[in-house]
Structure 1
Amino acid sequence: MATAFWNDETHDTRSGFWASGHVPTLIAAFLYFDLAFMVWVLLGPLAPEIAKTLALTPAEKGLMVAVPTLAGAILRVVNGLLVDRIGPKRSGAISQMIVIGGLLSAWMLGVNSFAGTLALGVILGFAGASFAIALPLASRWYPPEHQGKAMGLAGMGNSGTVLAALFAPTLAKLFGWNAVLGLACIPLAIVLALYLVMAKDAPTAPAPKSLVEYLAPLRAPDAWWLMGFYAVTFGGFVGLAASLPIYFTDRFGLTTIVAGYCTAACVLAGSLVRPMGGALADRIGGVKTLTAVFVVAALALAGVSAAPTVGSALGLFVLAMLALGTGNGAVFQLVPQRFSAEIGVMTGLVGMAGGIGGFYLASSLGLAKQLTGSFQWGFLIFAGLAVIALAGLTLVKGSWRREWTAAQGVRI
């Protein structure tokens, strides 16, 4: 049955994926995550129009689209603690209502200053923090042998960034960018209603953790390595998702609608390959997968810095996003191998690091544009971070393979 659930006493290891968990909750987690990610990066596609209205500098534009990413990163830890105490369903409902309330207020009152965009960005951070809610909501219903599938399906909600890139510029052209903030509340409210009806907390929730317990994995150097790798892979993905509309309009003079289509193509590539990245890491090992990811991402981003045409830039961005999306799946193949007992905690901490990486990339691109007149150095420095990540992976992979393979018997 679709509504069956797993616990230590009732689970039959021979049951299939769909029968082993709670399908309505899985669907609700995906929808919640998808729409939350849509509004998390909403300021990116709207940034060219907002910048014209408010006369923002390149650095201010970069910071505006980066703030939701940083706020989402910090709030992921907050949401992780909240999920432990009141459950993921309630936590998700509260977060969604905060986002809807913030967007409605911004639409009704208007966003008339740079400070106002930053305040709105903090509110949108609650949407970005949905990662720490949607994944536990879905995964707690499923047994260990189906965790990868459950987290992969729920995690595909990051494809919501495509919706923002596709529709926000067109709606802004038709109704004005401020109206888009109000219009976004319609699908959010519909999904919230479905979420409240369909989602259900698993009956086997772990005991709540204190803040000290929650941060305990940070005492292990491996946690910092994994966070650093995700800061490059997911940070690159979300940083580019937020910044590409600005890049395409400023660098090549594209209209906001065409820039949105170009951004959507890049983001879609990175979203779709995330589950494939996890599957590839299962087959050849997370270390080998990440090695290829960092090489390809560094070369593609370095190439973008000097791309002379829209076509060459778009092709290189798609290549970079394919690599980064694959890396996102690969990192989360490695996390449970080392921190199986702290997977919930590490999901929040690694996710937080990814958000910080995205904040850095988006803000640095704007700063590079203002200081040098070009985005080039922003891309080159982030390509350099990918090279540093590759060097770090090379440094630790030997000990990881000896220790983790001996302990877990898995391919890394």
Structure 2
Amino acid sequence: MKFSDLKSSGHWPTLLTAFLYFDFSFMVWTVLGPLGAQIGEALHLLPEQKGFMVAVPILSGAVLRIVLGLLVDRIGAKNTGIIAQLIVIAGLACAYIVGLPSYQAALLMGIVLGFGGASFAVALPQAGRWYPPNMQGVVMGLAGAGNVGVVLDSLFAPRLAAAYGWKSVFGLAIIPAVLVLVIYVAFSREAQVEVKKKRLADYFNLLKDKDAHWFCFYYTVSFGGFVGLASSYVLYFKGEYGLTPVQAGDFAALCTFVGAVLRPVGGAMADRIGGIRSLYTFYAVAGLAVVASPLVHNLNYNVLTFLIASGALGMANGAVFQLLPQRFGKDIGVMTGLVGAGGGVGGFYLASSLGMAKGYTGSYAPGFFVFAALCLLAICGLGLVKTRWRTTWGAAANARI
């Protein structure tokens, strides 16, 4: 496939605006992570409280993905995206004007920021519906590469907070929020495909299919690992090595950037050799890197292991979404929300468990080891389903699985 095919086969302005919407939404979704050290100091939070604070937006986004997934099929992806962006802008304005005077207020802000994370259930089906099955890996990977917004978070939020105060970061974020909204309204379009309106019961009906559970689990590990680590890097680097929030943010941005930009690479690799074979490799590499990370207390060593882990998990995200449209093409709106919710739950688990591990044991190692065990379970799960998938729906798919 040539990248010129993206222009001739679908609607590239929608793919681009879906990327921009997803990019900014991810930036504000995880903003409490890069600001976690400064907010934690201001509110005198314990390690487990800081871990839970940065994890709440991830859980909120997981739940709201189901809600927005329903709206995408009912009122359209574009209308749903506009509503979600307006809610996030209102939340940013309140946080800038009122601030976060307490731990409870920070948690409430995390719930509102979940609308940013829920953009996943809007941007991906909006872009994917424009393109044929054999291009889904690359298209979903490109649209999903908007998670590079997490990189911008880690890079700029600590610096802006150091210069103007962490409360000002919420106000400054309103500027690009409005700009992205205007571009999205002007240039994004709905694909001219027939979409059946879904009900909440449709989620439960899909969950009767065991393949839906497998996809949710695979994304719980891949995306949950990626975003859980991204939300925890600043707290980890600052706590373990005494770095400033800005220095910790730079390392966090570097690690997260690798995972974000490699997502479409993972999708393209899955298009070429098959999603199942790709996931075997990605989960194995991620699990080994996560196990290795706490074994040596050295900054350069830790940065290297996290680069490898984030990169592998980012590519696994792309591979999961190369497979998903082949299996659930007619229900991609609901399944994107459902699988995305699973990813959000995974991120909430990892970020909060790392905080709890540090608070209760004095080390992050138990949290990393348990997550590595989940990578191993994902590999075992692939072994259980690969033959059935390849001989049933995979045999009819117009793409490698």
User: Which category of TM-score, normalised to the shorter sequence, fits these structures?
Assistant: over 0.9
Equivalence for 2:104: 115
User: Does 2:130 match 1:127?
Assistant: no
User: Does 2:196 match 1:195?
Assistant: no
Query: How far is the alpha carbon of 1:269 from its aligned partner?
Result: 0.6
CA distance in 1, matches of 2:378, 2:128: 29
Q: Which amino acid is 2:185 matched to? A: L
CA distance in 2, matches of 1:293, 1:202: 32
Question: Residue 195 of structure 2: which of 187, 206, 212 is its match?
Answer: 206
Query: How far is the alpha carbon of 1:89 from its aligned partner?
Result: 1.2
Q: CA distance change for structure 1 residues 119 and 82 in 2, over 3 Å: closer, same or farther? A: same
Question: Residue 44 of structure 2: which of 46, 49, 55 is its match?
Answer: 55
User: Does 2:297 match 1:297?
Assistant: no
Query: How far is the alpha carbon of 1:145 from its aligned partner?
Result: 4.4
Q: What stretches of structure 1 of length at least 5 have no aligned partner?
A: 1-14
Equivalence for 1:12: none
The DSSP-based 3-state class of the residue aligned with 1:42 is: coil
Query: How far is the alpha carbon of 1:225 from its aligned partner?
Result: 1.0
The CA deviation string for residues 264-287 of structure 1, in whole angstroms up to 9 with x for no partner, is 111111011111111111222222
CA distance in 1, matches of 2:133, 2:396: 17
User: Does 2:166 match 1:177?
Assistant: yes
User: Does 2:81 match 1:84?
Assistant: no
More relative contact order, 1 or 2 (CA 8 Å, 6+ apart): 2
CA distance in 1, matches of 2:307, 2:140: 24
- Contact 2:134 2:399 (8 Å CA) reproduced: no
- Contact 1:404 1:410 (8 Å CA) reproduced: no
User: Does 2:391 match 1:398?
Assistant: no
Equivalence for 2:151: 162
Q: Which moved more, 1:70-79 or 1:132-141?
A: 132-141
Q: What stretches of structure 2 of length at least 5 have no aligned partner?
A: none
Q: Which amino acid is 1:312 matched to? A: Y
Equivalence for 1:224: 213
Q: CA distance change for structure 1 residues 34 and 402 in 2, over 3 Å: closer, same or farther? A: same
Equivalence for 1:186: 175
Equivalence for 2:85: 96
Once the two structures are superposed, the pairs formed by residues 336-351 of structure 1 within 5 Å of their partners are 336-351=325-340
Query: How far is the alpha carbon of 1:409 from its aligned partner?
Result: 6.4
The DSSP-based 3-state class of the residue aligned with 2:347 is: helix
Equivalence for 1:236: 225
Equivalence for 2:271: 282
The CA deviation string for residues 121-154 of structure 1, in whole angstroms up to 9 with x for no partner, is 0000000000111122222333444444432222
Q: Which moved more, 1:273-282 or 1:142-151?
A: 142-151
Query: How far is the alpha carbon of 1:219 from its aligned partner?
Result: 0.8
Query: How far is the alpha carbon of 1:390 from its aligned partner?
Result: 1.4
User: Does 2:236 match 1:247?
Assistant: yes
- Contact 2:198 2:334 (8 Å CA) reproduced: no
Once the two structures are superposed, the pairs formed by residues 137-148 of structure 1 within 5 Å of their partners are 137-148=126-137
Q: How many residues align?
A: 398
TM-score, scaled relative to structure 2: 0.96
- Contact 1:140 1:205 (8 Å CA) reproduced: no
TM-score, scaled relative to structure 1: 0.93
CA distance in 2, matches of 1:410, 1:203: 23
Query: How far is the alpha carbon of 1:401 from its aligned partner?
Result: 2.5
CA distance in 1, matches of 2:138, 2:223: 19
Question: Residue 268 of structure 1: which of 257, 265, 276 is its match?
Answer: 257
Percent of aligned pairs with the same amino acid: 53
- Contact 2:26 2:117 (8 Å CA) reproduced: yes
The DSSP-based 3-state class of the residue aligned with 1:201 is: coil
Q: Which amino acid is 1:67 matched to? A: V
- Contact 2:96 2:171 (8 Å CA) reproduced: yes
Equivalence for 1:333: 322
User: Does 2:363 match 1:363?
Assistant: no
The DSSP-based 3-state class of the residue aligned with 1:184 is: helix
